[in-house]
Structures are given as C-alpha cells and as structure tokens.
Structure 1
C-alpha cells in the first residue's frame, strides 16, 4: 500500500424525526466531506528548519503576526530567527502525492517546544507550541508525512553551546599565549581540546533521551487524534557532523606550527577561513557526540515503535550523508562543503568576517562577544547549507518511500546518495 493515502469521501447518515407521532423520515446523508489536500510537515530543530540554507521565510509569532527579518540587532527571541528556509530538506525532497508542505520546526527547538510555547523557557523564541501549529495544519490538510528532528537541543545541552565551547577553546589557544591570560585576564581561560565529557556526560545524554521520548510520545498521540484519515508516516531523522574525522593535510600546520603549540595565529586564521576553527584532538569527541545524538533518536524510534505498534515509523540515519564533503575535509573548503563554515560578525553589521588574518587578541574577543550578545549573527555556523539540505532532501525522499523501518543515507566518494 502507498505510504501516502487520501482521506476517503464519507457520508454521515442521520435519522430525522418529524413532529411528535409522525413517522420517521428516511435516513439521508447530512454531510459529504471531500478529500482534504495532502500535506508533509516538519517538526523539530535547526537541522530540520533549514538553518544555514538562507531564504528564510516569515514566521508567525505567539500572536499570529508574521515576523520578517527584524534587523541584526533585534532580540534573538524574535520568531523570524526560527530560520525556516525555503531550501530546507522538506522542500527539496521528492514526495509524490504530497500537495502541500509545512515547516513548523524552529532553530534552537527543544523537546519542551513540542507541547509548550517556546517563549515559556529560557532563550526560547516567540512561537506557539509546535503541536498547536500542527493542529492548525490538520484543520485544512490530511497529514501524510511528518519529518521529526529532535534531541540535539535539550535542557542539559544544546548543539550551539557545544560548538561554541570547542571553537572558542581553539580560538583562545591560537591567539593568546598562556601567560597573557594570567597577565591580562587574571587567570586561565580553557584552551585545551574538547573531550567527550566536555560535550555531554552519560547522565546528560540519558536525560536528553527521556525528554525527547516524552515529547515524541505527545506528538504521536496528537497525530493519531487529529489526522484526517489516521494514516501517516513519521520519519525520525538524526544528525550529521559538519566536521570530518580528520582535517585535510593543508589544515594541519602553518608556519611550522600545529595546534599543539602555544599560540598559532596563522594556523588559526587558516582553519577559520576554511570553516573549521577546531583542534584536531576535538574531532574524535565531536564524532562520538554526533553518534550519541543518533543514539537518542534511534532509542526514541525503538521505544515509540513498541508503544505505537500500529503507527508507520521510520528511523532515518544521516550520519554519513556528508561523507567526503564536510568542512576542511578537502583543501578547497569551505567551497564544496555541505555545511556552513563558522562565520562571525564584528558587531551586528550583517557583514561576515571571512578572514581573521591580522586580528589581535582584543579584536578576537570583540568579535566573539558579538556572537554571544547577538546570537543571530553567528547561529548559521556549522549547519547544512543549501547543498547540504539538498542532500538531506534526497535522504528524506528515500525514507518516505521505503518499506524498511530503519534506513541509512550515505554519500559515496563520487557524490552519489544512497538510502537503504
């Protein structure tokens, strides 16, 4: 049977009774409901909303007012910064039979935001609960496909905080000698590579799994209540690391200095320009973290498959979807990469700093502080770009039509994408 099904035409029959004592009137159809147009819906966080892919569309806030770009110095809580892209994978996938597509995901989205307004939590955006938005779609459309990406942000850790921690350590190590911290800043600032426990502890990962499971349970229960014909496929997509297992040799040393030396500004500038300001020793922990995010999604899929045995649930593993085209995996990076490089602004100017050559440590501190104060100036960093979302769209195409309960989307050395 096709994954995408239409709502059948239904007729409600009623027995109308005339005046007291009069014989009953023959049953007649009271209502005839035509098939609703079919829809695919995306829920979750930045890897689903289209962060990094540009062409961001207005987003309705808590009051139903569509928010367009509010300016670089606007509060980051503005609904627009959900960054719902017209280039997101939902819009790039080939989905036969689907007549409309609704991107309800939000950059920075957490399990909390599925059933509650994002604005109700710290650093949340001014948007309604994603389930409330989903209910609105169900009023006018028959939901046949739901793409869910959830778990990388939660009450224990967020993808943005993890990325910021490792990049900042590298930048600090590259531009400032250990003695300068004591002389000018009054104490040490972390400069060492990230470890697995720096990114997320076992306890934090367990808590994130529980949070995500509870949110998805609410989603499935709601879908079973509101979907016009009760037939829908739900695709659980996990995450892909924007960085490789190791950097291309070009990015190993500069001026005969590696990232194991004290202060290596030329190398720091080279890696920043390539999109990968990161210690080589941080790469393995980063991949372990990415795999653990995948395990969260896989665990949720397994648990929900047992609790909702009648539902059509598919786990989509995309951890190898960017193989060979990650940042600094090729010497031409960021050209040809499937992810956005780390990009910062020197103030909320809208102009990205593409090279850090010639900047001193005070410049670097000022630029880094801009990201902290105006997060929208750097929030696209290390997310799938337009080409990356095109690949993820191919992954979704395969997951939407497969007969399997779990599939992996893999990019081969010649750039071909296979799902199976």
Structure 2
C-alpha cells in the first residue's frame, strides 16, 4: 500500500510539473510580439490609385459629377478606371484619388493644386484614418517636363501643316533631357507617399507601392483613311515616334524613378500594341484607346468648351479593364518589375520585364 501511495504521489508531482510548464510556455507566448496581420488601423483593405489621367480614368467615361467640371474640377475620375478593376484576394475596396493632368508636385505633399484639388498625398493621409491601405498604384510623370499629352496635341496640330517638319523632329532635340528632369520629381512624389504612410504607423512591408508607365495610345499601323479628323489626324512619322521612342524612353525614365524610390515598376509601354486608337479600322471594338473625340454638347457651354476634346487619345473603358487585369496579376507576385503584354487569350498579362525588352 505504501509503495502505491508513493507512485500516486510521484504521478501527481509529474502532472503538476507538466501543468506548470504549460502555463509558463503560454505566458511566454503572450509576452512575445505577434506578427501584425497587414496594414494597421481600421477599415477595409484598400487599393488606392494616385496620379494623372491614365489613373483617374480619362477616356473611360461616366465621370463622377464632382470631377466632370463642377466648380472647375476636371479631374475626370471614372468608375471604369483601372484601379477599380483590381481583383486581389483580401482587398475589398478601391479608391481613386488621381486627377487628370496632375504633375508630380500635386501627387506629392505641398501646395500644388490640380483642377481645384489639393495634394493627393494629403488626401491619402485622410484616407488612412478609416481605410487599411494594402497597395498604392501611381501613374505620374508625363505631365512634368516631358509634357507627353501636350506633345501629342502638338503632333495633332502638325498634321494640318503639310509644309512643316513632323513635330517629332522638334521633340527629339531635348526629349531625353526632359525625361532626366522628370525623374527626381517622380521620386519625390513616391517618397512623400511613403512618408504619409510611415506617419500613419505603416511599416514598409505593410503595403505595396507600384509605379506604372504609359502605353502608347497611337501607332503607325492604322488605315490611311483614318489619319484625319474622323479618327487619328497624325503624320506617320509622328505616329511611329510616339510608339517606338516616346513611350518606351518615358518608361525607361520611370523605371529609374521606381528603382530610386524603392517602388515596384509596371511597364505599360507595349501594353497597347495592336489595340491603339484607329488600329481597328472600321471596327473600333478591339481598340483600347479613344480616337479623336469631341463632346459636341460641351461646345455650347463656354465653361466646358475648352474641355470638349479632353478625352481624346486616352485609354477607354476596355483599356482600363485590361490594365486593371494586368495590375492584379502583378500585385499577386513578388516580382520587382513586370510588363503588361498581350497573351494568347487576347488579354494583358504581367510578364517579366526582360521579355518586354526583347520584344521591343
């Protein structure tokens, strides 16, 4: 009997020791820091679009009433914009803060306004109070020193002047220097975005920061009968320059800016190949960019008349959907850079950048 009591006592002591060990281990786990589940704060996981017309949705139509000229606001934000086509697991909301025509200075912190709107980075600072930002996608730079849209307008004007040189001849002289001046401005805007999120308690690994480049909206392979006011009034030399030089060299400068700012880079310079404005001839259904477009009703209103052709040569709703598809794929990878290229299924896909360069 004494021996059995001894065994019972021994088992009891072992049991107590095990329980103490379990409680000690639990106590230690509670004291150790736990891995934070993504972005801090409250609200839905959100992807945010910042930048200019190619992010706001210019050309995609259905602009929100407050950005379609009301009180001088012509940011032209569309529900069809690419940021609203992002489909990534866990991201449940998309917010578009981009504004048509915005330079880097308006995306950055500061006092620069675009169509009455203040700094987009400052708007982001307000947004993070009730949204958990998982990704920020930026399209900016073309409205800085390159003035890409303005140059396309100059080439449009050049079409009317048959006796002059193609506009691309004038642009070539200082095009690279314009891109070089643009790069630090884009870097500054990206750094301000990171500064805002850092101030809101975000660690760098809490969110993705993507800088995307620009697709060429026009190209030389269009029917001759559409190189006029019925579609795309440009000289063939200028169409070739925009596609082969303008868009690709601008993309190279933006790639450099992304690298310097520690952002990921999505190359769209070849994204529109075969789907440029007027490339479909009589059938425009496969085009991802608007042709020469006039809002005739706006011409009867003095305040709107100067914006009547603002949509021309921008991605249309189908183009924005394709860009959003490619962006979604890119966000699900760990690649630092990729290029949007058309696949065998006729849709854009995120491909390694080296593949895009070899195709160029």
For the aligned pair, the TM-score class normalised by the smaller chain equals 0.7 to 0.9
Mapping for residues 37-48 of structure 1, pairs under 5 Å: 37-48=44-55
1:238 match? 213
Mapping for residues 102-141 of structure 1, pairs under 5 Å: 102-114=95-107, 115-119=109-113, 124-141=114-131
Displacement after TM superposition at 1:331 (Å): 2.4
1:404 match? 335
Task: Provide Cα deviations, 1:257-298, integer angstroms capped at 9, x if missing partner.
Answer: xxxxxxxxxx5xx42355211100112321211112211210
1:300 is aligned, of 231, 254, 257, to 257
Report the secondary structure of 1:300's partner residue.
helix
Task: Provide Cα deviations, 1:345-383, integer angstroms capped at 9, x if missing partner.
Answer: 5683379xxxxxxxxxxxxxxxxxx99x94311111110
Report the secondary structure of 2:253's partner residue.
helix
Mapping for residues 153-232 of structure 1, pairs under 5 Å: 153-154=143-144, 156-173=145-162, 191-195=164-168, 197-198=170-171, 200-228=174-202, 231-232=206-207
Displacement after TM superposition at 1:152 (Å): 0.5
1:417 match? 348
2:4 match? none
1:6 is aligned, of 38, 41, 56, to 38
CA contact (8 A) 1:327 1:333 kept: no
Task: Provide Cα deviations, 1:146-196, integer angstroms capped at 9, x if missing partner.
Answer: 010111111x342221111000110333xxxx5xxxxxxxxxxxx321225
Displacement after TM superposition at 1:229 (Å): 6.0
CA distance in 2, matches of 1:55, 1:126: 20
Task: Provide Cα deviations, 1:101-125, integer angstroms capped at 9, x if missing partner.
Answer: 1100000010110223443xxxx41
CA distance in 1, matches of 2:146, 2:210: 24
Quickly say closer, same or farther: Cα 1:334–1:303, change in 2 above 3 A.
same
Report the secondary structure of 1:42's partner residue.
strand
Quickly say closer, same or farther: Cα 1:349–1:292, change in 2 above 3 A.
same
Displacement after TM superposition at 1:247 (Å): 2.2
CA distance in 1, matches of 2:297, 2:98: 28
1:49 is aligned, of 50, 56, 66, to 56
CA distance in 2, matches of 1:399, 1:247: 29
Task: Provide Cα deviations, 1:192-217, integer angstroms capped at 9, x if missing partner.
Answer: 21225526532222111122122222
Quickly say closer, same or farther: Cα 1:412–1:332, change in 2 above 3 A.
farther
Quickly say closer, same or farther: Cα 1:57–1:128, change in 2 above 3 A.
same
CA contact (8 A) 1:104 1:133 kept: yes
CA distance in 1, matches of 2:159, 2:300: 24
TM-score normalized with structure 1 length: 0.68
CA distance in 1, matches of 2:68, 2:167: 37
Quickly say closer, same or farther: Cα 1:350–1:90, change in 2 above 3 A.
farther
Report the secondary structure of 1:410's partner residue.
strand
Report the secondary structure of 1:132's partner residue.
helix
> Higher helix share goes to which structure?
2
CA contact (8 A) 1:315 1:407 kept: yes
Report the secondary structure of 1:98's partner residue.
coil
Quickly say closer, same or farther: Cα 1:321–1:91, change in 2 above 3 A.
same
CA contact (8 A) 1:117 1:126 kept: no
CA distance in 2, matches of 1:232, 1:103: 17
Task: Provide Cα deviations, 1:291-350, integer angstroms capped at 9, x if missing partner.
Answer: 122112101111112xxxxxxx32111122222111232322544210011123568337
CA contact (8 A) 2:142 2:149 kept: no
Rg larger for? 2
Quickly say closer, same or farther: Cα 1:68–1:408, change in 2 above 3 A.
closer
Q: Which runs of 5+ in 1 are unaligned?
A: 9-33, 60-66, 179-190, 252-266, 306-312, 352-369
Alignment RMSD (CA, Å)? 2.6
2:11 match? none
Task: Provide Cα deviations, 1:35-86, integer angstroms capped at 9, x if missing partner.
Answer: 5321111111110110000111144xxxxxxx6643xxx8xxx22x101110
Report the secondary structure of 1:404's partner residue.
coil
Report the secondary structure of 1:319's partner residue.
coil
How many residues are treated as equivalent by the alignment?
A: 312
Task: Provide Cα deviations, 1:218-252, integer angstroms capped at 9, x if missing partner.
Answer: 222222222556500011111100112x223x31x
Query: Is residue 307 of structure 2 the alignment partner of residue 376 of structure 1?
Result: yes
